[in-house]
Structure 1
Amino acid sequence: MLTLRVDADTVARTRLAPSPASESVAWLKLTAASGRHPVFGDPGPLARASLAHPDVALLADLLPQNGDTYTPDLLTPQPGTDAQRRDVLDEQIAQIEAAAQDDLETQLFTYTRTHWSRPLRPATRRIAESGRMQRRLANGLARFWRDALSDGWPELRSIIDQDIAQRATAIVTHGVGRALGALHPDIDWTGDAVTLATSWDGDIDVTGRDLVFAPSVLGRPDVVVQVDTPGKFVLYYPAQRIGAGRDRRSGSIEQVVGNVRAALLADLETARSTAELATRIGYTPGTVSYHLSALHRARLVTKVRAGRYVMYQRTARAAGLLEEARG
């Protein structure tokens, strides 16, 4: 059992917050392992195509595989308190880029050796030792987010916000301790500590520190505690009502994250240019161009130059995905 010792100051600073970085890392882990989410299913071709980018591949190489039990905490920074003034993901990406070299080396060289069944690849170690890894990891997270999750964040954020609102009501009605103890069967409140049922024992002093509880959608059903970055404590628990009211037949995250791209694919039975598509679906040419590039990398559209224009058309694979979604 893991015990987090708290005091009145910790309780006063305990908060609930979304973590888009954690959602991205959870989705990337599933993508790299060819896994499926229990509600949202297969990550899909856009997520897999993103793995071809070297910075996304580097990020994926630092995620647990084949029963490994450790994800470096620096990949999922503690969400800050200024979400109203700044985008939470931008803030987390900036924290990754600013991670101290000593913390990075401790997590990658020491903790992975303890908790992984495989050694860190020599090429990955060299990048870490060069001092360039923080920037590349930040870029990899930003790239995977844009390619695979940005379109669907409003719906995922809605699930998270609903969970936070319900927990906040429970705190007002029943108090902090009872509300925290109801987060998950593996989490308990003892009056002076938060305990978590784990396969390893530990006792950590978090007095006077922020303790953040982050509802997780794509990391479900796991409960994860993050304590290895000095002064940064986060506990991730499964959000409530994931998939409530959704049609499970599709089993695809594309139903959640593909609003713009689905509209493009639906309109590309006939070859069309970027400018024509922008006019037809009501987005700027730059936005349309970005999404077409992602669809092309995932082999869901073809492109052919015709005079001054580049014409896009959906592939047979994309047509099959659309048909499956309709069914």
Structure 2
Amino acid sequence: MTDILLRARALVGTRFAVSPLMQAAAVLHPRVPSESGPPQAVRHALHLIFAEGRLPFLAALRHDVRDYAPDFLTPARSAHEASELDDELHQITRTPAAVVARQMIRLVEDCEPPATHRMTSAVRPFLELGEDRLAERAALELEVLWKAVIAPMWPVLRARANDDVDRRARLVLRYGLARALDSLHPAMACHADVLSLPGSRAVSASTDLPIVLFPSPLTRSWLLSMDPWNQRGPYLIYPAASGATAARPAETARHPLTDVIGHTRFTLLVTLSAAHTTSDLARRHHLSASTVSYHLAHLHRAGLVTRVRTGKQVRYRQTALAAELMDQAGRGRRGAPLPPRRGQEGESSAGVISA
């Protein structure tokens, strides 16, 4: 049994979140048995992509994971930001080298206990890449896996996850957080300030840091990730409630090109109907300059934006190709509003794991 003592600060900050990469974590973890794991079609797609040998690092990771998985692969988003795949992948590539090294060393030591040395870590050869290249490889392979296995279902998965969050939020409002935590899984229980989860090992922990709760329609089990260095609160993936998915106006109005290039890049592309600098875009959309640069680099390589240097400034703007694609993709949806350009006047702007 895993017992987590939730102190006052943790209870106040605990929140629900919908994350693309947490869906990958829900299906990748080797500790989740097939009967409580992803649907058969997802397991089959996973088997095929690993059999093709396209994901050597993730395959090695699955081999090594026992009770610890590096959590730089599932980066946290702040409470005021909606998670998009590209943003989460970019956050992986920006993980400090010291954090990557510390977490990978912990994984290897967990896989190769010094008392026996009977196991050989499959990820050890990847450490020779260096921390920066390892983070880039991890992001690349996660993107390949996500697009091959999860992307075809993502609109439905996202809607179901959002509906689940709405359902739990109503429980919090009517009965309190303890009732909502109690409802996440039949085997979970929240009494007073202790959250108890079943497990083969007895683990007791306390935290002042908030729990982030991630619903997943792809699992019937749960995964708990706790940071051994206590630099972030626990992450808990839990099975999203089944049931009909309500229609969501925001999804209905979604421009088709958004699903191809992602919400953040589409929003930037809309803004770039006029020329802007990186700092202009960062300020307008409340993003860091490095995040804007990351997305602009992808858009530039795809031929969707041009860049022109004037003195010390570099300005970006839509290409004719981008304007044509946006027009073609939007045909038949002429009433659909474009995403708001935040910042304009008048506008609103995986630790110790057990299962």
TM-score, normalised by the number of residues in structure 2: 0.57
Partner of 1:143: 144
Out of 71, 75, 78, which is 1:77 matched to? 75
2-structure distance, mates of 1:79, 1:40: 30
Shift of 1:141: 1.3
Contact 1:70 / 1:112 at 8 angstroms: preserved in 2?
A: no
Contact 2:93 / 2:132 at 8 angstroms: preserved in 1?
A: no
Shift of 1:213: 1.0
Shift of 1:189: 1.4
Shift of 1:53: 6.8
Pairing of 1:124-135 with structure 2 (within 5 A): 124-127=126-129, 129=130, 131-135=132-136
Contact 2:36 / 2:221 at 8 angstroms: preserved in 1?
A: no
Q: CA 1:36/1:47 → structure 2, altered by over 3 Å: closer, same or farther? A: farther
AA paired with 2:91? Q
Work out the percentage of aligned pairs sharing the same amino acid. 24
Q: Deviations over 1:16-63 (max 9, x none)?
A: 111211212444568xx9999653525556983587575x32123212
AA paired with 1:74? F
1-structure distance, mates of 2:177, 2:35: 36
Contact 1:5 / 1:204 at 8 angstroms: preserved in 2?
A: yes
Q: CA RMSD in A?
A: 3.7
Pairing of 1:13-32 with structure 2 (within 5 A): 13-28=13-28
Pairing of 1:9-158 with structure 2 (within 5 A): 9-28=9-28, 39-43=39-43, 48-49=48-49, 52=52, 56-64=55-63, 68-84=66-82, 87-114=83-110, 118-121=119-122, 122-127=124-129, 129=130, 131-158=132-159
Contact 2:42 / 2:149 at 8 angstroms: preserved in 1?
A: no
Q: Deviations over 1:114-158 (max 9, x none)?
A: 35784223422323x454201111122122222332232110111
AA paired with 1:89? L
Q: Deviations over 1:192-211 (max 9, x none)?
A: 2222222223332321x221
Partner of 1:193: 194
Please give the secondary structure, in 2, of the residue aligned with 1:62.
Answer: helix
Q: CA 1:186/1:113 → structure 2, altered by over 3 Å: closer, same or farther? A: farther
- List alignment gaps of at least 5 residues for structure 2: 113-117, 246-258, 261-323, 330-355
TM-score, normalised by the number of residues in structure 1: 0.62
Contact 2:50 / 2:59 at 8 angstroms: preserved in 1?
A: no
Give the number of equivalent residue pairs.
242
Partner of 1:176: 177
AA paired with 1:216? S
1-structure distance, mates of 2:141, 2:34: 19
Partner of 1:205: 206
1-structure distance, mates of 2:181, 2:39: 25
Q: Deviations over 1:154-177 (max 9, x none)?
A: 101111112111111111111111
Contact 2:93 / 2:136 at 8 angstroms: preserved in 1?
A: yes
1-structure distance, mates of 2:186, 2:58: 31
Contact 2:6 / 2:195 at 8 angstroms: preserved in 1?
A: yes
Contact 2:15 / 2:213 at 8 angstroms: preserved in 1?
A: yes
Partner of 1:162: 163
Pairing of 1:247-286 with structure 2 (within 5 A): none
Q: CA 1:161/1:51 → structure 2, altered by over 3 Å: closer, same or farther? A: farther
Q: CA 1:36/1:168 → structure 2, altered by over 3 Å: closer, same or farther? A: closer
Q: CA 1:46/1:194 → structure 2, altered by over 3 Å: closer, same or farther? A: closer
Pairing of 1:298-317 with structure 2 (within 5 A): none
Please give the secondary structure, in 2, of the residue aligned with 1:194.
Answer: strand
- List alignment gaps of at least 5 residues for structure 1: 246-258, 261-282, 289-327
2-structure distance, mates of 1:46, 1:100: 29
Q: CA 1:80/1:202 → structure 2, altered by over 3 Å: closer, same or farther? A: same
Please give the secondary structure, in 1, of the residue aligned with 2:126.
Answer: helix
